[in-house]
Every structure is written in C-alpha cells, then in structure tokens.
Amino acid sequence: MSQQTLTRRVPYEEFDYQILLTALGGYKSPRDRITRLLRQGTIVRVKKGLYVFGEADRRVPVHMEILANLIHGPSYVSLEYALQHHGLIPERVDAVTCVTINRSREFTTPLGRFTYRAIPLEAFRAGVERVEVELGRAYLLAVPEKALADKLHADKAPLRTQRDVRVYLEDDLRIDPLAIRSLRADLLRDYAERYGSRKIRHLAAVVERLQHQDGGRTHA
C-alpha cells in the first residue's frame, strides 16, 4: 500500500489506532507496518492509540483543538487558550488548556503541550460551544464567560472582594475593561451557582457594575 492510498483510507489528519488498523487491513501484519510508518515519519504518535500524519503527508494542518478533545476526555478547550481565542487576553498561549471531569493531567507530545484541569460535573455541563471545521468535524470550546469562570476557579488567588476581581482581570490577565463590559452577567451568575463560587459571583457583579457605569455615561 502506498502512502497516497493510506491517506485516502484515513479521512482526517487525526486518527486513532482502530482507524489505522482498518486502513492497513490488507497487510498480514498491520502492527509491523505501523512500526515502519512511525520510523519513516509518515505517521506520528501523539499518545498511545492516537496518531497524526507526518508533516510531509498532511493534507491540511492538524487541529490542535480536536487533538485536545481526543487526548484526554471528556474535555473541552478553555482557560487561557480559550481566552486568547476569544480575544480577551493579549498574551500568546503555548499550551492548549482544557478542563475535564476526569483527573487533572498534562501531556507533552511531538505537536505541543496539552493541559487539563479537573472541574465539577455540574460546572462542566454548561457554557460550551461546538466549533465547526472542515469536513463537518468540530471541537468543543468554552464560550468567553465560561473560559473566564473556569480560569477563576482554577486560579488559587483568594479574590475576596469585587475590587480584588477587577484588579485580577485588568492587571493579572490584562483584559481590557471594554471586553469585561461585553460579557454576559447572567451567564456568569449561572456558572457561579454551578461552581458554588464566590469569586465568580464577584465577577458577575463587576461586569454588571461596569455595564451600569457605561450606561450612565451614555445617557448623561
């Protein structure tokens, strides 16, 4: 089987061991063929049972977010990576950051680093959108409010008052006040209840206060 035939039989750049075995079904010893493909760099092992094509054989770039959903689940992309994706924080984020209902983990792979923070099931069930990519595939991503709520939960800073939260948002995360005003306080209140988090309740109050201040200036 040629490499071109293999790429025709494997529809996506990210694939698991079972898909690979099926694609190599014509070989007497598909496991030996997999070893050879790994040595040649035709495929790359991301973790046990999960692969991508090597750079020379990729048809489209690998979707790091799809890989993140596959490496450790159930999970969705959130925290700093999602905040950057939504344009809330200016810094470049090196790791793909995620949350999960399983235990916290970190994976260093040939494609990059993936981190997972454990959160309660009730909080996990809300604030996630499905982002479509090519060929009808998709990955799970936190909406802006949920990514920020997840970040406050994950960060151990005490943030006992609304002032503490605002300083954290503007000085530590460097989120523009205009971006804070654009968040939905009702969603943040829902996430605060799901987490049982005073910090996230303070966040919702900060958003509401900024929105009221903005409205007052608008009508002055």
Q: Give the model's pLDDT for residue 3.
A: 62
Type of residue found at 8: R
Q: In angstroms, what CA-CA distances link 138 with 25, 29, 51, 160, 166?
A: 27, 33, 18, 38, 34
Task: State pLDDT tens for residues 91-136.
Answer: 899 999 999 999 999 999 999 999 999 999 999 999 999 999 988 8
Segments of the chain with pLDDT less than 50: 216, 218-220
pTM score above 0.85? yes
Q: Give the model's pLDDT for residue 219.
A: 40
Q: Give the model's pLDDT for residue 43.
A: 95
DSSP H helical ranges for 137-197: 144-154, 162-167, 177-181, 185-195
Q: Give the model's pLDDT for residue 218.
A: 40
